[in-house]
Amino acid sequence: MTVVRRVFSVFPALSRLLPSSGRCSNRFTTAADLEELITPPVQINYTKLLINGQFVDAASGKTFPTYDPRTGEVIAHVAEGDAEDVNRAVAAARRAFDEGPWPRMTAYERSKILLRFADMVEKNIKEIAALETWNSGKPYEQAAKIELPMFVRLFRYYAGWADKIHGLTIPADGPYHVQTLHEAIGVAGQIIPWNFPLLMFAWKVCPALACGNTIVLKTAEQTPLTALCVAILFHEAGLPEGVLNIISGYGPSAGAALASHMDVDKLAFTGSTDTGKIVLELAGRSNLKAVTLELGGKSPFIVCKDANVNRAVQLAHFALFFNQGQCCCAGSRTYVHEHIYEEFVEKARLRAMRRVVGDPFKRGVEQGPQIDSEQFEKVLKYIKSGIVSGATLECGGGRFGSKGYFVQPTVFSNVEDDMLIAKDEIFGPVQSILKFKDIDDVIKRANNTQYGLAAGVFTKDVNTANRLSRALRVGTVWVNCFDVFDAAIPFGGYKMSGMGREKGIYSLYNYLQVKAVVTHLNKVR
């Protein structure tokens, strides 16, 4: 019996953007002659902090630059929030929760506002996607055809949940009526990363609002623009003042102030494992607020002996290189069975050489720049370490072009488990291909990591798929697919990849308190 294969199942648009297979020249594909989809700049109207329904300057008056990663040039100067601004935002969120209409609305009314917001975003997808591409460097086609539609889908999904949150009645010993109430937790502090600014906004904001909470959200300093842009649509959709507050700023100032704030009831963070430890410590030292963390990963992608090599190469390529390799769950350890290893490596090299790198505003571009100079230099440093440690550089290995933060699609073979490129989260377009002998061997090696976010398994055998799915200590296993992020599917990690789950019904639990109500009955029939 074979397992049904669903390559690119959640990203149908992406599969149409990929070049067909075949031999290629001995150089990387470029985007020089491709048609432009849209040319920035788009108009930037919102660069201030959003506090209590108003766009305001930072209390200090400071701003910081946000950059175009294609060129390194400044796009805009954005208000730099700090602890004083976090205090103002939390106070606004607290008033909105304790006194405002949002938690007191019927769930159906909250649902209608979320749906109106989703409709408004859908009508403005082109402009919002252009801003997302300009600020983050991700391909415009990816932003407009994949990520923004998914953003809209998430809000509609949670709008549907808003009026379906309810407790239970519980039989108890004695003359008692027992019921549970699921109540909003209060003020939610949320800190999102730069690799998927809008999707992470949705992952955090959707369930919190559906449950009736209020929010203070801190954007990544690299990508503050789109959260501020869509926030104005939220208020046009009818969101009351103070329910959603947005602070742009740096982690050690604004982020730390939010994590340690005594009047924040719940904290959600997505980012690196090292920063997640700091966030958890700050939360614990303050008021023991509930914390969910979605952190780093070093996900194994396991290609079994029976695999269709051509399809496995395509899927492994997608699993690693999508979004410039800037995915916490990227399949960054490609384990390939020794019987098909050499064939796989050669085809993986050719596929990487065909990858279209260039201006993300051009049609057909698969890979834009890394987010900033720091990430760019980090990726190049890891590539150098791979060469020095003895891995075989199959292609890439350096800068792409002469400006901006572009990195050549890079493939290493003959990678050993103890090499840095096989242990550390590179967060860039660097594929490490390792050889394995049998299932016991690959299970042991795949689990020998501090991370446990995700894994990919490529096989025709249902028994192999089932065994690996149960043996791998990760939060998500994709079988014959990868990066399937349906709104209903939970996502989160084992071990040092975090705690708690996002998306689906599971994320609602992050934003609810459970209260038991026990009533004595004078008579029981």
> What pLDDT digit, counting tens, does each position of 45-78 carry?
899 999 999 999 999 999 999 999 999 999 999 9
How confident is the model at residue 524, as a pLDDT?
A: 61
Cβ atoms of 227 and 59 closer than 8 Å: no
* Helix or strand (DSSP H, E) at 317: helix 309-321
Architecture of domain 297-489: 3-Layer(aba) Sandwich (3.40)
Residue 16 pLDDT level (bands cut at 50, 70, 90): very low
119: pLDDT strictly greater than 70: yes
Q: What are phi and psi of 122, to 5 degrees?
A: -60, -35
pLDDT at 14 over 90: no
Length of the chain in terms of residues written? 525
Q: Does the pLDDT of residue 32 top 80, yes or no?
A: no
Return the CATH fold of 49-295+497-516. Answer: Aldehyde Dehydrogenase; Chain A, domain 1 (3.40.605)
pLDDT score, position 23: 33
Q: Of 206, 328, 329, 395, which residue is the catalytic one?
A: 328
CA distance 131 to 40: 8
When pLDDT is cut at 50, 70 and 90, the band that residue 2 belongs to is very low
Q: How confident is the model at residue 6 (pLDDT cuts 50, 70, 90)?
A: very low
Give the pLDDT confidence score for residue 523 in this predicted structure. 74
Dihedral (Cα; 205, 188, 254, 131), 10-degree rounding: 10
* Residue 402 DSSP class: S
Local structure of residue 492 (DSSP, 8 states): -
H or E element in which residue 394 lies: strand 392-395
Bridge partners, residue 266, by sequence: 188, 290
DSSP 513: E
Task: Determine the pLDDT at residue 504.
Answer: 96
> Which residues 6+ apart lie within 8 Å of 294 measured at CB?
269, 270, 328, 491, 492, 493, 497, 498, 500, 502
How confident is the model over 87-103, as pLDDT tens digits?
999 999 999 999 999 99
Q: Is the dihedral of CA 377, 381, 386, 392 positive or negative?
A: positive
- Percent of the chain exceeding pLDDT 90 equals 91
Express each pLDDT in 198-219 by its tens digit. 999 999 999 999 999 999 999 9
The average pLDDT across 179-196 equals 98
pLDDT given at position 30: 52
Element (H, E) at 294: strand 290-294
pLDDT tens digits along 274-307: 999 999 999 999 999 999 999 999 999 999 999 9
Cβ atoms 254, 279 nearer than 8 A:
no
- Considering the chain, what is the average pLDDT of its residues? 93
pLDDT at 345: 98
- What pLDDT does 43 receive? 84
The predicted structure's pLDDT at residue 42:
75
328: annotated active-site residue: yes
Domains of the chain, residue spans: 49-295+497-516, 297-489
Amino acid found at 3: V
Q: Both tokens of residue 153?
A: 């889908």
Q: Strands (DSSP E) along 108-233, which ranges?
A: 169-170, 176-184, 187-191, 214-218
pLDDT band at residue 17 under the 50/70/90 scheme: very low
Which residues, including other chains, have CB under 8 Å from residue 65's CB and lie 6 or more apart?
74, 75, 76, 77, 78
User: Strand 266-270 to strand 290-294: parallel, antiparallel, or no bridges (unpaired)?
Assistant: parallel
pLDDT band at 477 (very low <50, low <70, confident <90, very high): very high
Reply yes or no on whether the pLDDT at 10 is more than 50: no
Alpha carbon distance 512, 310 (integer Å): 46
449-469 mean pLDDT: 98
Asked if residue 137 lies in contact with residue 370, where contact means CB atoms within 8 angstroms, the answer is yes
pLDDT class for 153, splitting at 50, 70, 90?
very high
Phi, psi of 517 (to 5 degrees): -120, 115
In the predicted model, what is the mean pLDDT of residues 463-472?
98
Cis? peptide before 41, omega within 30° of 0: yes
How confident is residue 12, by pLDDT bands cut at 50, 70 and 90? very low
Average pLDDT over residues 453-481: 98
- 3-state secondary structure string across 245-276: EEECECHHHHHHHHHCCCCCCEEEEECCHHHH
Q: Is 294 a catalytic residue?
A: yes
Query: Which residue in 80, 147, 294, 394 is the catalytic one?
Result: 294
Residue 36 pLDDT grade (very low, low, confident, very high; cuts 50, 70, 90): confident
- pTM summary value: 0.92
Backbone region of residue 391 per phi and psi (left: phi > 0; alpha: psi in -120 to 50; beta: other values):
beta
Residue 89, Cβ density class (10 Å: 0-12 exposed, 13-18 middle, ≥19 buried):
buried
- pLDDT of 28 over the 60 cut: no
Q: Residue holding tokens 């809209």?
A: 152
Which residues, 6 or more positions from 377, have their beta carbon under 8 angstroms from its beta carbon? none
